[in-house]
Each structure stands twice: as C-alpha cells, then as structure tokens.
Amino acid sequence: MGKRKNSLTGLITLLTDFGYSDTYVAQMKGVILCINPEARIVDITHSVAPGDVISASFLLGGAYKYFPAGSIHLTVVDPGVGTERKGIIVRTRDYYFVGPNNGVFTFPLLHEEVNKVVNIDIKRFSSVSRTFHGRDVFAPVAAGLSIGRTPEEYGNELDPAQLVKLDEDRPVKTRDRIYGKIIHVDNFGNLITNISEREISGSGLKVRVRGRTITGLSRTYMDVKSGELLAIINSFHLLEIAANGRSAQKILRAKRGDEVVVFIKR
Amino acid sequence: MGKRKNSLTGLITLLTDFGYSDTYVAQMKGVILCINPEARIVDITHSVAPGDVISASFLLGGAYKYFPAGSIHLTVVDPGVGTERKGIIVRTRDYYFVGPNNGVFTFPLLHEEVNKVVNIDIKRFSSVSRTFHGRDVFAPVAAGLSIGRTPEEYGNELDPAQLVKLDEDRPVKTRDRIYGKIIHVDNFGNLITNISEREISGSGLKVRVRGRTITGLSRTYMDVKSGELLAIINSFHLLEIAANGRSAQKILRAKRGDEVVVFIKR
Amino acid sequence: MGKRKNSLTGLITLLTDFGYSDTYVAQMKGVILCINPEARIVDITHSVAPGDVISASFLLGGAYKYFPAGSIHLTVVDPGVGTERKGIIVRTRDYYFVGPNNGVFTFPLLHEEVNKVVNIDIKRFSSVSRTFHGRDVFAPVAAGLSIGRTPEEYGNELDPAQLVKLDEDRPVKTRDRIYGKIIHVDNFGNLITNISEREISGSGLKVRVRGRTITGLSRTYMDVKSGELLAIINSFHLLEIAANGRSAQKILRAKRGDEVVVFIKR
C-alpha cells in the first residue's frame, strides 16, 4: 500500500450469508475485538442468500470502494468451508480482501489491481472448526491485518492467476442491440442490470424486459406517472428498471437472470 | 447550539427505507467514514416501508431524543430524490437533522424548537447521482457537520415556514370520547395509537378497536390473562393496545390507520 | 474480576427480541451513549421470537464467550417487564450479564462461575416506564458498569440460588442410544441439537431424525452429494443435521423440539 498506512484505519467491513437471526456474525465481531479492541466494524450486509457467491460478489463490488483506503473487506460466503478450497488475502493498492477463494472477490477485482495474494495456511491457527472459518480463520486474519500484521504472516504467496473468478457474464452487443440481464433485485424492487452507463449513454433507446417496452431514459424516479415503469442510470452507473413509487419486480414478476434488451437508435 | 459543541460527539444516527439486504446503508457509512474516520454511527432502523415518510417520521420522533446532545440525525426516506424537492439541514438546540424536505422531520420537530434551516445546495457537491442523494449529498453533509463544519457551508438559509410538514392527524375529542387511530404496529404486534397519556391519564376508561372493547388501563402486559387484550400507556407515553404474550395485531387483524375510540368516564 | 479492568473495554453486547423494524434497540443505544459516549456496542441479534427466553438463552450461550474479558452482555427478552420479576446483574470472572431474572442467562451460566448477583433496585432510577426496562433500567446499568460503576451501586446482593434457571433439557443416554432434540434452527436451515461432541466423539454412529437415518459423521458440508443430508459436529461443538447446499429444515420439515436419536455402535 505504499505510504498508505493500513493500521491507521482499523476499519473492517463484513459481508456474509449468515443472516440476522443467528449469532455467527457476533461471534466474528467478538473474535475481532479480542485481537483489536479498537477495530471499527461496519456491516455491509448479512442477507446474502445462503451460498450465493455471485450475489455476494455483486454486492461487495458495488460497495467496497466507498470505504476509506486501508479498509479490510472481510467476506464470508463459504459453502465449501472445511474442504480443500483455499482461504485468501488479496492486497490491492487501497484495500485488503479476506475470505474464501471461491470467486466472491470477482466483482471488486474487476476494478482493482491485485498487488499480492496470500494463501492462508490454516495450520497456523489453533482450534479451527470445520464449519466456521469465518470465525476461526478469516476474522483473526482481518483483525491481525488491522493491527499492522502483514499478509505474509498468514501463509505463502499465491499466483494471482489462481484466483477463482466467476464468469463475468457481460452483455452481448450487436449493431443496434445490447442483450443483458438482471443481476440484482434491490429492496425497492428495482431491477439492476449488467448494462453499464457507458455502453448506452447519450443514446435514444428502448428497453425490453419481460415483454414490456420502456422508451427513453428517465432522470429521476418521478419522471413518469405514479406506478409506471421507467429505465434509469442508477447510482452504480448501471441501467436499472424501476417504477415510480412501486416495485418493478412485482409489476414484471422479474427475477435475477431475466433478459433485458436495449434497442439503440442510430 | 450555544456552548454545546457538536463536534464532540461525532455521533450520527441513520434511519432509512433501504432495508438490510442491499449495500446502500453501507455505502453511506463508508462515505461518512472517509470524511470523519472517528464518526460513531448508530442505526435507528432501515426497515421503513419503501417511501413511507409518515412511518419514518413517527419512528424518528420516538427515538431521536434518547441520543446525546450534538447528535446528527441523518434520515433518508426520499422517494422524490433527484427532483426539485429540497435537501435540508435543520438545527435545533440539541440536534441536527439532515435529509429531504418532505415532512420526514415532522414528528421530532413537534418537540424541538427550530433554530435554523439550511437549503442544501447540491451544486456544491461533486458527482451527485440522481438516484442516491443519501450517499452523494446527505452523508457528506452529516459527516461534515460531525467534524465541525457549519450548516451555512452547505447552502443558504431557508425560512422555517418552508419546512414541509405532514398532517399531524391528532385525535379528535368530544365531551366523553376521544377518536384516535393506530399510527404504528410494532414488532410484538402492539398497536400504538396517536392518543397521548396526558389526554387520558387518571380516567377510568374503555377502549374500542376493531369491534372489541377493552376496559381499563393495565399497568403491565401481564396484568391480564395470557393471550388476552389490554390497553396500556407505553414507553412513548402513548395509548397502546397489546395482548399478554401474543400479537394484538394478529388477534384483531388491525393495521395502521384503524380507528381507536376511548370512552372516558366522567 | 480481579486484575481485569472492566472499564477498559467499555464493550456492551445487545441481545433482544425487539426486531429490526422498530426503534427500541436504538433508544437503548442512545441511552447508553449518553452515559458512556465511548461505549462500544455490538449487536448479538434482535431477531429472537417475541418472549422466547429459551432461544435467547441458547443464542447468548453460544456467543458470549467470544467477546473480550470485561464485556457486558445486556440481554432483554422480557415478557414480564413491569411485574415483580427481578432485574439482575450477574458478575462472573470475565463478564457482566445484565437483564431480567427469567432464566435468559441459563445457557451461559452453565459454563461460568457466578461471583456475585445483584438485584437491581428500580427505585434508584428516575422515570421508569412499565413497558420498557431495557431502555429505562438495563441500558443505564450496563452503561454505568462500562464506566466503572460497581454492581452494588444498583442494588443489594441476591443469593445466586435465586437465579431463575431454565430446564436444562439434556439428552438422555441409554447403553447404545442418545435421545436428544433440536434446540435451534439456524439461518441455513441447519438443525442444531443438544447432543454435544464429547458424548459421541470417535464413535461410529447413526442419527435418526424425522424418520430419516443418517449414517456416520461428515467432516465438512460437502462430504455428501449436493442436496443430501449429513450429520456433523458444528462450531458450537454440538451435533448438527445439515444438508449440502440445502436447508435440512426444509427437507425434513423439522422444527425446534423435534427428537433426534443417535445410535452408537459399540
């Protein structure tokens, strides 16, 4: 991290599929605070569907960069816990990422240059359960990094080429169309697509989703009549299908993976 | 705030309708911590129904005053984001309130004297999205106030008369009756009304709701038999319909807005 | 606590049945921060079913020990609020426990030696509501302890024999069988039993639950084919019924209290 001093922030973010009704998240926080009583811990979310690595990666990809340089992003969506899947530390210029090597860091690493990857050696930890490396391995690693330990203290370097990556699943472009899809449905029922602003900006366009066609881009959610569908560039700089004061998801009965086609006027 | 020093607490509360499954709240926290790494952030709730400004205002009104003087209450229930609706800073003796000028501060401001209102000038911010002023405008403002910036740095004063206010919807009193209604259903299924303790205290009374009549005020939830309905003055100093060990909401199939009539014995 | 200095951590954990959609938890946090602006507050969970003291106790029992010595565990699942039920402070070597004397500390106190119990005298508090001692009594007590006040400042000692205890509900062993039951269903649909590792470790075994029989213990969730049931020793050191990539709860339509029988090969 060059002159940036990681230990100055002591900020650890947490993203898991543990939900809010169990104590798994609290156990991790307790472990962190035993190692670094000054750690600041911020929840990103714990509502990822169990084992949904793709969703976790998308969510992390949209949030990680709003945190201060030096932050440690601890991500535990880990259906392979206890198997031969590796645990890793990924160091980029501004951040550490700590978690299983199962592709969960794919989205953030699209935008970050990887400086170093370390394969966490769990033999260096005492009393590691086979079902909860979040508590027994990853939390201690994140807490250790937050007090200035180096990644190398936790294992040997791993060739970055061995980072597991999810299929990027980018939209397909033809001369006058873009074939994308819904990659996330948010709390408002907004349908977030994998089509980015720069692929469509400035164009007059139509958007087709679930048999419905939307004409033009709105600038705000209230640009259309109450209850009506609209297309908008959202705060992720992605094309989003929404509705004024309603859930686009409910109107369209849409779900993640549904196709979205943009017709570009030329 | 006179001699009270706002920057001493650095405490920012958050109340939104963003839910717990997205990263919008975390993005706001990241932005705050970039500006004030020492900020303390406390979630009030993020489970407000999408766009439900009335509920958000009621919830904030019941919680804000338990926080230390100097706290900054950042509230983002903002269906009009990106339109001409204003963003505001409201300064009272003990607190700042930051969010959209859509009435969401109505309930707390029933109890607070407004010292100053500032109309946030979004042109002073860089790269503001049209869909997420919580992250791009309000979080930076709250974080700035927490490090001692003044409201005036964010825009010009606004006449307090221009504060948008929700209808107060106060109960109607006749000689021997009070006509109120349910304004909130809580996690326990308790039905919270808009009828305050001082309007009924000391009176022998009957309460009618959804065709059922409850006689007298209980002092605790266990004053009646298990499973039975009761009326009680709750911790908000409001009349509440509850049931011993059960959900009054389920027993009565009640919902927000339902009428509650108090018959006062004279 | 001997030489351990409680005030050094200022760490308060919170476990309640208040849910995430109301402001009761936030009110408690505000009260704590008015008394100790430096307090660190960690949520254990607030999703306990209303009034479910057994579940709260199990959850606390599985989480409390991961927090640093000196932590104050504030637990409010309190259906008897306002009645004659006592409020207590329990001091063990490493922790304080603060909450109602209704059995909620049963599980943690199975593993902790009780040094002192104090019966909180609510007459020492001003303006105590009858419905929310979490905010009006227990939060101030926890915050006070976090700044170095002693338990004795809040009331007289109580004979530890007067601590209310839940039935332990331990498994019954015969020569070749253990009759236990499901004591918690977690976010993944894993079925956590009251049968501990040491009762079965090393044995070849079969597990019967809801008419299905599972042979042998798995070491990881992926030891069986995708979607299949397995038995495993979990991170609580308890026998757990799970499924690879699925919810065992859904497969078996199991619920808390269902019988689990272990057949031990001898």
Residue C136, helix vs strand vs coil: helix
B184-196 pLDDT tens trace: 999 999 999 999 9
Q: Residue A152: its pLDDT value, please? A: 97
> Is C220 within 8 Å of A81 when comparing Cβ atoms?
yes
Alpha helices (H) in C75-216, listed in sequence order: 106-109, 133, 139-146, 197-200
Q: Does C136 touch chain B (CB under 8 A)?
A: yes
Cross-chain Cβ contact A30/C59 below 8 Å: no
pLDDT of residue B149 exceeding 60, the answer is: yes
A32-59: burial string, b at 16+ Cβ within 10 Å, e else: bbbbbbebbbbbbbbbbebbbbbbbbbb
What pLDDT, on a 0 to 100 scale, did the predictor assign at position B3? 40
Confidence class for position B201, pLDDT limits 50, 70, 90: low
Residue C92's φ and ψ, nearest 5 degrees, are -115, -175
Best of A16, A17, A22, A45 to substitute, by most chain C Cβ atoms within 10 angstroms, is A22
Q: Does A11 touch chain B (CB under 8 A)?
A: yes
- A186 chain-B contacts, CB cut-off 8 A: 19, 21-22, 24
Task: Report the C-alpha gap between A65 and C158 in whole angstroms.
Answer: 52
pLDDT at position C168 is: 73
Among chain B residues, CA nearest to A66: B30
Return the pLDDT at A160: 97
Do residues A241 and A229 make contact, with C-beta atoms less than 8 angstroms apart?
yes
Q: What's the pLDDT at A7?
A: 40
Cβ B27–A186 below 8 Å, yes or no? Answer: no
Q: What's the confidence (pLDDT) of residue A203?
A: 60
Q: Are B187 and C16 in contact (CB under 8 A)?
A: no
Query: In the β-sheet with B155-157, what is the strand arrangement from edge to edge?
Result: B40-45, B11-16, B72-76, B96-100, B87-92, B114-120, B155-157
From chain A residues 207-226, the ones with a CB under 8 A of any chain B CB are 219-222
Q: What angle do CA B177, B181, B184 make, to 5 degrees?
A: 145
> Which residues of chain A carry a pLDDT beneath 50?
1-7
What was the pLDDT predicted at C199? 87
- Residues of A whose CB is below 8 A from C43: 26
Contact between chains at A50 and C188 (C-beta distance less than 8 A): yes
Burial class for B201, CB neighbours closer than 10 Å (0-12, 13-18, 19+): exposed
Q: Chain C within 8 Å of A78 (Cβ-Cβ)? A: no
pLDDT in tens, C113-162: 999 999 999 999 988 998 999 999 999 999 999 999 999 999 999 999 99
In chain C, residues with a C-beta closer than 8 Å to the C-beta of B42 are 26, 29-30, 33, 41
Instruction: Give residue-wise pLDDT tens across range A231-251.
Output: 999 999 999 999 999 999 999
Length of chain B: 266
Q: What is the pLDDT of residues A202-221, one digit of tens each?
A: 567 999 999 999 999 999 99
d(CA C197, CA C207): 14
Question: Mean pLDDT over residues B145-171, rounded?
Answer: 94
Q: Do C171 and C194 touch, CB atoms closer than 8 A?
A: yes
* Distance of residue A120 Cα from the nearest chain B Cα, in angstroms: 27
**Segment B9-41, tens digit of pLDDT:** 799 999 999 999 999 999 999 999 999 999 999
Neighbours of chain C (3+ CB pairs under 8 A): A, B
Q: What is the pLDDT along chain C (266 residues), one digit of tens a residue?
A: 334 444 457 999 999 999 999 999 999 999 999 999 999 999 999 999 999 999 999 999 999 999 999 999 999 999 988 888 999 999 999 999 999 999 999 999 999 999 999 999 999 998 899 899 999 999 999 999 999 999 999 999 999 999 999 987 789 999 889 999 999 999 999 999 999 998 886 567 999 999 999 999 999 999 999 999 999 999 999 999 999 999 999 999 999 999 999 998 76
Rounded CA-CA distance C35/C47 in Å is 26
Strand pairing partners for B215?
Answer: B206
Indicate yes or no: CB of B27 within 8 angstroms of CB of A232. no
Task: Name the residue of chain C whose CA is nearest to B231's CA.
Answer: C131
Q: Measured between CB atoms, does A40 come within 8 Å of chain B?
A: yes
Query: Across the interface, do B44 and C26 touch by the CB < 8 Å criterion?
Result: yes
CB contact under 8 A, B222 and C37: no
- Put simply, the answer to whether B66 touches C30 (Cβ < 8 Å) is yes
Cβ contact (<8 Å) for C50 and B247?
yes
pLDDT tier at B1, thresholds 50, 70, 90: very low
* H/E run at residue A142: helix A139-146
- Chain B CB contacts of C81 under 8 Å are 220-221
* Nearest chain C residue to B49, by CA: C21
